[in-house]
A = this chain, B = another copy of it.
């Protein structure tokens, strides 16, 4: 796998940095409260890659959606992602001490705060999407986010993950693909299609892009868990391998996992061919996802 420095990521890197700055500024405005709960919510969102929020902003730009609508949806998906990480890090779940190179929320505060900050981040995501600025397709976005993140989406993926840990046998490739599709794929799909949905356009090309991207993202994550540097990744690595957990790397081998990630990246880019040069940044995002070192 090439490293991020080998490839031409400059416009993407700039677009991502710009997205991070805009989402963070909007978050600080929207979550300006001075109490501990607001502080915890801000802490949970701060410092993330904000790839999902970037996908929302880019797909919105591609479809001519007003920036003031797109930013609400971009912050909303980052709130959902942040809440899932805060709850996932809890002692009764993955029991992680480190996230993005910082103490996890229950380490910085305590478990009760982590439960409540996670809960209110989820609530806040739906509050943002119900803002009149989001426009005429807000309900479709809300319904989609609920379906992607709840009992038939992300949370069901977390349940499958827990069930896999307690089961005797490691997962098959088919099972792990299903699990990851729910756990991370659903939210990536929602993010990449959000712009099309807000514009009332056909979300099919972006859905195809997102399906390939989501899987490539997870394969890259498993490769990072084997090859990554904890200091750069910002969280513990080699946890899965040490736990004897089935991953794309353990099932496919490192070389085949890298080849699979590359072909998914090509597939993701091909899905955007009808957008021509307008989709250059999203195509670079796909290349970044499989080349990242954190």
Contacts and interface: CB of A to CB of B under 8 A. Distances in A.
Interface of A: 31, 33, 35-38, 41, 83, 87, 90, 92-93, 110-112, 115-116, 118-120, 122-124, 126-127, 129-132, 138-139, 142-143, 145-147, 149-152, 155-156, 158-159, 162-163
A151 B123 contact: yes
A100 B125 CA distance: 31
Given A93-B115, A126-B145, 10 more contacts: A37-B155, A41-B151, A83-B119, A119-B122, A120-B156, A123-B149, A130-B143, A130-B146, A139-B139, A142-B142
B115 A151 contact: no
A62 to B, nearest CB: 24
A129 to B, nearest CB: 8
A119 B156 CA distance: 11
B119 A146 contact: no
Contacts of A92: 110-112, 115
Contact of A151 (B120, B139, B152, B158): B120
Nearest to A143: B130
B123 A130 contact: no
